[in-house]
Chain A
């Protein structure tokens, strides 16, 4: 097996939201695509997520939220990543994200994969963004 640098993806669910079926499906898809996925689980604060991204040297941070609190929490993660010198870390988001909110989130650099997204599209995006 290649010893080359593997893409490492940190997945977490920020906020008070227990719906983790979707993020687990994405985690398995990332594993099956030959990457290393670190799954942090539910009820994480942006600070905890960013601290884990530091320690795990993640290339990509994936956030899942189905409770509407993504409006506050996703941008907060991006701000904290920058503050901690992780501006190169790419951020993706998924879950129930309203169409009208997507442009503002993508403007912050968060690529959004709302409900119904295909896992192969997510994988393709991770591969592309991690190599940049």
Chain B
């Protein structure tokens, strides 16, 4: 494993690809990799792009890649598509739109299935961000799976949140709804050559000026794009750089990353504790027995949880 890490850090793309597979599929080995490379992280600008299916996210990423390469940035892209809750399979189709830099060694695109996680990102997304960061990417673009109104997870793992919508994506009532429309640092109205894009920009600006409950020292900006014709992409890159500059100047970057580490620590703690406890109790079928007891009203759910905590206390030396 350390060979793989060394080679990836020296720029070997196949080793980086293998490490991504490892953090995706083998939590125990994957965590060791992340522990090793963590000291090297924190340098990249992490940008999320979310929006409904078919809004044009992948096409815009394609344009962003060209423009950011023009600006001499090294780029890592994580493109997430949904994993089937039925078969466990996934059709990962974002790469089809990202042909602009397919032979450029300064760009690394990885497609990922959501693998059972809701909210538009996968469990391993934060780990893959860290891998790209450690391997010297200047900019990491995370494209979520097509998102719905409550899919705000992306805002917990990136520095700059971009929310994409289209002129045809509903009226001002949709924009006024809580959730995804509250998380953007930059709002993009794509397919601006269709429908009434200016009204949509106006409606989003109205919404922005009534936002509350989040830090608004940066006023979220709205921009029009036509991703497939590269219209607005240069201005968008300027805006992205402006936001990053703002985050750094105001120390908001540090504050956001503090919040991020906090939720990441809690999430990982929950994940490891649950995984460890269940693995231990599954050895002799005790977890299923506990479920039976709750089912038959022999035990209430909170007492059952207390039993799980008891197991955890007795087995803490195994962590």
- A56's partner among B27, B96, B110 (CB-CB below 8 A) is B110
Query: When A51-B102, A55-B108, A55-B109 are in contact, do A36 and B17 touch as well, CB less than 8 Å?
Result: no
Sorting the interface of chain A by its residue count into under 10, 10 to 19, 20 to 34 or 35 or more gives 20 to 34
B103 touches A (CB below 8 Å): yes
Q: Which residues of the other chain, B, contact A130 by a CB distance below 8 angstroms?
A: none
Contact A5 B26 (CB under 8 A): yes
- Number of A-B residue pairs, CB cutoff 8 Å, is 88
A3 touches B (CB below 8 Å): yes
Pick from B83-91, B138-146, B165-173, B259-267 the stretch touching chain A.
B83-91
- B95's partner among A3, A30, A40, A47 (CB-CB below 8 A) is A40
Instruction: State the CA gap A38–B81 with chains docked (Å).
Output: 10
A16 touches B (CB below 8 Å): no
Count of chain B residues near A, Cβ 8 A? 30
Contact A5 B25 (CB under 8 A): yes
Q: How many whole Å from A13's CB to the nearest CB in chain B? A: 10
Residues of B contacting A: mostly:
mixed
Contact A31 B103 (CB under 8 A): no
Contact A48 B103 (CB under 8 A): yes
CB closest residue in chain B, given A52: B95
Produce 1/0 per residue, B55-69, CB < 8 A to A.
000000000000000
Contact B89 A56 (CB under 8 A): no
Instruction: State the CA gap A36–B116 with chains docked (Å).
Output: 13
Contact B90 A36 (CB under 8 A): yes
A1-60: which have CB < 8 Å to B?
1-6, 8, 27-28, 30-41, 47-48, 51-52, 54-57
Query: When A5-B25, A37-B92, A39-B93 are in contact, do A31 and B17 touch as well, CB less than 8 Å?
Result: no
Contact B26 A2 (CB under 8 A): no
